[in-house]
Structure formats: structure tokens, C-alpha cells
């Protein structure tokens, strides 16, 4: 019986031994997920463009209404007609206003004749008064009659002027040079005055000066911080896909609008339309040039990370390298020693939030705190893992403009430096989320959407996929 137990134990032991000896090797999770990627810092061109869609709108648009009410007897315009200041738009029925004018003119003639008669009578009264043949009261009555005749003459002249104005108001003329956008009435229609009517009167036509036009585009709040008045823009109308119009950002709305949970800001672009090809209401795509940098140092967004992420990224690299990383790659090791020696350029890494990491690079160490705070309002500071002959070191750099793929390096790196990063990064994940958001917003059935499109002419040695916003 004991031999049977011993035999079973030997079989089990052999089976366990064979399992551990011949089982397939499984790589660690860290090594399969966090595969270090390398990239060499190179120079290239960086273009950042914000793209939005909008509509063409005229700058100077006037709604033409009549001050007088009445029947339209003559209408001289059609839509798309070119008009100049003073050109006839419409003529109303003038019978009543003409009669009133003629009566006012007749009253004026009577007033003028009455004044002459009163002045002649005053002259005779003056001679009789000088001879003592009439009393003072009779002479004063004659003078008063002249004054009354003069007042009547003034009132008659005013009536003539008013009647002439009302007569001219029955003729509607163009107030500006432009093109007729809409014609809202027809001949024979009775219209109401735009002054005396509570509803604002009847709209006759709309005329606009189209030599310069606006493109009002709704830009996503993610991109609005990159845009400033005065930036150049290229406008492509859907009607002319092969024609580019030059424009300039005129103003940015201070109040946002929300459509289907998407927050946008209206940006107005001034566009030259001297050729008259752009029409009011056309849909157009606007490319706003945010930055166009030539021959600058570029780093992939995949390699950028915040100071709080450098510690965890360094751990990933160390694990991926099988723990063979030198002491210089560990936070607080040779990097910290190099900083104490005054070499500069390496960030101070702390373990956990209590460390209060404040990494700096190069000349930034000597920058006064007030100047450094002001500088950070315009530039972003990001970190990379720099590969050196001694190992891997965290390095804080100063960055400039960026697109989905690359970021401009202002300080902290040189051409030819090699940086590493984990295969899985938050930059790529953030970029994919951003692109997905742009796609969903562009596919919405209502409202105008924007997207940021940009390009870099210098490829990364590791050829990372497009995407990734700076953290």
C-alpha cells in the first residue's frame, strides 16, 4: 500500500516538474505593453492651421423701406441688379401728395401777395401819421397787419417745404452702391410707411455692398485660444472649390454658443471680394493660419509629457529594459547629482505629490520667478526622457506651437538628441479622442463645426502615427 502512495507522489512530482520546464514562455505585461520607442530630434517646418466652416455675409447691407404709404406704380429693380446711390428703386402713387403740394404752393403765393398789400397799406398809414391825420392806434394796427402777413408767409413756405418732402418720399432711391439681394414687393402692391407704422413698414428690397464680405465661422472652443485678430486666413467657397480667397481675422465673439453640447465661438473673417464672385449666403471653408515655422527643432507629441508623468514613464522604461537601467535614469540619482553640480537641463523628480516637482531646463534656472511666471503664459513647458551614453534622464524643455503630430522645441534639446517614450502614451490617446470628437462634430446635422488640421514636413525617425496634443 505504501509503495502505491510513493508511486503516485513520484508521478505528481514529475508532472509538476515537466509543466514548469516545458511550459511556453510568456513575456511580462510591462514588457509587452510598454515597449520603448526612440526618436531623434530633427529640424523641419511646422504649420498649424485651424479649419472652420461658415457662411458669406455682406458687410454693408441695407433694408430699403418707404417713408410714405401708398400704391407702387413703378418698380425699377430685379434681384442681382447693380445699383448706385440715387438710382430709382420704386415710385408710389403721387396724386394726393401732388395735390397737397400744389395747394401749399398756391397758399404761398397768396401769402406773398397779402404781405405786399399790407406793406403798401403801412406806407400810406405812415404818411398820414406823419401829417397827423391818423391816431397812433390806427398806425399800430397797420404795423401789426404787416407782421401777421410776414408770419403767414413763413408758414406757407414751411407748408410748401413739407409738401415737397412728402412728394419726394413717394420716390424710393438706393442709399448705397451695391447689388440687389432681395426684392420683396411687386408693382401694384400697397405698402405701409416705415416711419409711422408700428410694425416697421413694408420691406421693398435689400441692397448690399459686396466688394468686401464677412465669413462668420463657428470655431470649437478647443481651437479658439489659438486664434487672434489679424491672423491671415484662406477662404474656399463650396461653389468655387478651385478658387482661394484671401482674408483676415477681424474679431472673435466674446460670448459662446452651444449647439448639441458643442461649444463654439463665432469668428468673423474679412474677405476681399473685388471680383464679385462670392455671393451672400454661400457656404465656405476657412483655414486660419495660426503658425508657419520654418527650420525649427521638432519633437513628436508622443515623447512629450508633464512633469508629473515623467516619474511613471521613467519606471516604465526601467521595467521595459529589464531593470538594467543605470542609476542616472532613476529619479534623484545621477540626474539629481548633475543638477547639484550645476550642469542644468535635468528636471528634479520627486516620488508622489509631496515632492512638489519644479523641473527647469538650462537658462530657465536663472530666470527670476516673476519673469518665469509671465513667460509661462505664452509658452508651455513639457518633459521628455533623454537617452544618453550614461542611461536615460528626464529633461524639461520649453515648447512653442504644436499640431497633432509635432511640437516646436524652444529650449532644452538640440538637433540629434535622442528621446524615448513608451509605446502606449496619453498623448496618442488624447489625440485619438480629439480626432474622434472632430469627426462626430463635423457629422452633426446642424450648426457649423471646426477642426484643426496641421502638417509637419519633417518625419520622425520612428514615424509615430498622427495625433496627440501636448499635455
Tens-of-pLDDT digits for all 471 residues of the chain?
Answer: 555 556 666 666 666 666 555 555 444 434 444 456 788 888 988 888 899 999 999 988 999 999 999 999 999 899 989 999 999 999 999 999 999 999 999 999 999 999 999 999 999 989 888 888 888 998 899 999 999 999 999 999 999 999 999 999 999 999 999 999 999 999 999 999 888 777 788 999 999 998 889 999 999 888 898 899 999 999 999 999 989 999 999 999 999 989 888 899 999 999 999 888 899 889 999 999 988 888 888 988 888 887 777 777 777 777 666 554 444 444 333 333 333 333 333 333 333 333 333 333 333 334 444 444 444 444 446 788 888 888 888 888 888 888 878 888 888 888 888 888 764 445 555 666 666 666 666 665 444 444 444 444 444 444 343 343 433
End-to-end Cα, the chain, rounded Å: 71
- CATH code for residues 95-169: 1.10.287
Residue owning grid cell 398789400 = 117
In this structure, the chain runs to a length of 471
What pLDDT is recorded for position 56? 92
What pLDDT is recorded for position 153? 95
The domain locations on the chain are 30-46+295-456, 52-57+207-293, 67-92+172-201, 95-169
Secondary structure E strands in 184-316:
190-191, 203-220, 232-237, 245-252, 257-259, 262-272, 283-300
User: Rounded distance, CA 264 to CA 253, Å?
Assistant: 10
What pTM was estimated for this model as a whole? Answer: 0.56
Backbone angles phi, psi at 381, to 5 degrees: -110, 125
User: Rounded distance, CA 397 to CA 305, Å?
Assistant: 10
Residue owning grid cell 488624447 = 430
What pLDDT is recorded for position 384? 86
Look at the domain 52-57+207-293 and name its fold. Elongation Factor Tu (Ef-tu); domain 3 (2.40.30)
- Reply yes or no on domain 67-92+172-201 having CATH 1.10.620.20: no
What pLDDT is recorded for position 21? 54
Amino acid at each position: 500500500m505504501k509503495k502505491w502512495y510513493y508511486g503516485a507522489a513520484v508521478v505528481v512530482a514529475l508532472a509538476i516538474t515537466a509543466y514548469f520546464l516545458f511550459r511556453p514562455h510568456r513575456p511580462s505585461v510591462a514588457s509587452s505593453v510598454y515597449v520603448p520607442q526612440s526618436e531623434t530630434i530633427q529640424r523641419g517646418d511646422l504649420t498649424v492651421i485651424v479649419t472652420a466652416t461658415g457662411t458669406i455675409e455682406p458687410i454693408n447691407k441695407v433694408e430699403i423701406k418707404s417713408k410714405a404709404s401708398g400704391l407702387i406704380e413703378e418698380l425699377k429693380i430685379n434681384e442681382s441688379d447693380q445699383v448706385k446711390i440715387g438710382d430709382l428703386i420704386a415710385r408710389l402713387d403721387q396724386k394726393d401728395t401732388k395735390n397737397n403740394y400744389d395747394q401749399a404752393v398756391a397758399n404761398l403765393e397768396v401769402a406773398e401777395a397779402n404781405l405786399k398789400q399790407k406793406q403798401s397799406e403801412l406806407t400810406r398809414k405812415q404818411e398820414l401819421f406823419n401829417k397827423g391825420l391818423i391816431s397812433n392806434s390806427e398806425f399800430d394796427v397797420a404795423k401789426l397787419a404787416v407782421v401777421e402777413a410776414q408770419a403767414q408767409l413763413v408758414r406757407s413756405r414751411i407748408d410748401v417745404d413739407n409738401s415737397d418732402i412728402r412728394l419726394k418720399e413717394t420716390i424710393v432711391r438706393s442709399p448705397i452702391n451695391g447689388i440687389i439681394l432681395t426684392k420683396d414687393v411687386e408693382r401694384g402692391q400697397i405698402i405701409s410707411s416705415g416711419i409711422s407704422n408700428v410694425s416697421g413698414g413694408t420691406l421693398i428690397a435689400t441692397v448690399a455692398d459686396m466688394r468686401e464680405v464677412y465669413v462668420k465661422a463657428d470655431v470649437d472652443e478647443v481651437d479658439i485660444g489659438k486664434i487672434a485678430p489679424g491672423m491671415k486666413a484662406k477662404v474656399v467657397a463650396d461653389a468655387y472649390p478651385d478658387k482661394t480667397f484671401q482674408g483676415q481675422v477681424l474679431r472673435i465673439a466674446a460670448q459662446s454658443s452651444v449647439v448639441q453640447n458643442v461649444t463654439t465661438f463665432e469668428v468673423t473673417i474679412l474677405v476681399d471680394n473685388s471680383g464679385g464672385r462670392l455671393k451672400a449666403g454661400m457656404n465656405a471653408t476657412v483655414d486660419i493660419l495660426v503658425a508657419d515655422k520654418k527650420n525649427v527643432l521638432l519633437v513628436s507629441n508622443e515623447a512629450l509629457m508633464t512633469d508629473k508623468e515623467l516619474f511613471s514613464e521613467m519606471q516604465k522604461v526601467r521595467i521595459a529594459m529589464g531593470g538594467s537601467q543605470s542609476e542616472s535614469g532613476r529619479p534623484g540619482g545621477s540626474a539629481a547629482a548633475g543638477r547639484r553640480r550645476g550642469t542644468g537641463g535635468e528636471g528634479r523628480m520627486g516620488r508622489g505629490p509631496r515632492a512638489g516637482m519644479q523641473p527647469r531646463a538650462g537658462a530657465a534656472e536663472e530666470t527670476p520667478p516673476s519673469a518665469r511666471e509671465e513667460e509661462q503664459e505664452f509658452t508651455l513647458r513639457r518633459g521628455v526622457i533623454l537617452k544618453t551614453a550614461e542611461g536615460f534622464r528626464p529633461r524639461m524643455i520649453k515648447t512653442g506651437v504644436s499640431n497633432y503630430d509635432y511640437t516646436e522645441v524652444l529650449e532644452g534639446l538640440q538637433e540629434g538628441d535622442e528621446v524615448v517614450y513608451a509605446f502606449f502614451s496619453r498623448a496618442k490617446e488624447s489625440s485619438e479622442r480629439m480626432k474622434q470628437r472632430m469627426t462626430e462634430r463635423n457629422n452633426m446635422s446642424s450648426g457649423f463645426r471646426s477642426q484643426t488640421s496641421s502638417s509637419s514636413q519633417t518625419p520622425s525617425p520612428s514615424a509615430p502615427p498622427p495625433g496627440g496634443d501636448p499635455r
